[in-house]
Amino acid sequence: MTALLSILLFWAQPFGHADRASNSQAHDPHVTYTDMAVEGAVMVCRIRFFQDDLELALSLHRGSQRVRMAANPEVDAVFMDYLREHVTLQANEETLMPTILGSGEDVMDREPAWWYTLQFTASSPVEALHVRNTMMFELFEDQQHVLKVMHFPDETERSYYLIPGEEDVNVAF
């Protein structure tokens, strides 16, 4: 598992903070990027969001005060509740629940971003995955999700593009 996490963290390196720009202009794309590594019964993924989009989604989901991204239990709880409502991950037809391994600031296209690293553990080695992702579809017509899945030890890599109306993907190993 340590090797899997190390490979994922190397493979999905965050963009450099040197490119950080002010958030004076809104970004054009509404997109998330997910890099997932699968080895045996363990899946580890890093999801990257534009920070303003994620804060808006979590604030509306919460229905009260504005959510400001921070690596703390309160924000993590709001994120996990939102994630459970909008993302389903099934391995071998078993619905899996994530555990947060970490989160933090990032930069995408010179815009403030936020990432979460999650772990999912199945009861047996993963032979097939079903992913459903509807995050932020309630907010943006042009929301997109880019999903890269790498299977270990064979290092087979697949990429998927999810949009409203096409939010499900099946992956067989």
Where are the domains positioned within the chain?
A: 2-10+32-172
Per the prediction, the chain carries an average pLDDT of 88
pTM of the model: 0.83
Which amino acid is located at 106 in the chain? D
Give the residue from 28, 40, 131 showing the smallest Cα distance to 86. Answer: 131
pLDDT band at 64 (very low <50, low <70, confident <90, very high): confident
**The pLDDT of residue 149 is above 50:** yes
Give the type of residue at 91: A
Q: Could you tell me the end-to-end alpha-carbon distance of the chain, in angstroms, rounded to an integer?
A: 19
pLDDT surpasses 70 at 12: no
For residue 35, give the amino acid letter.
D
What is d(CA 159, CA 22) in angstroms, rounded to the nearest whole number?
A: 31
Provide the 3-class DSSP secondary structure of residue 16: coil
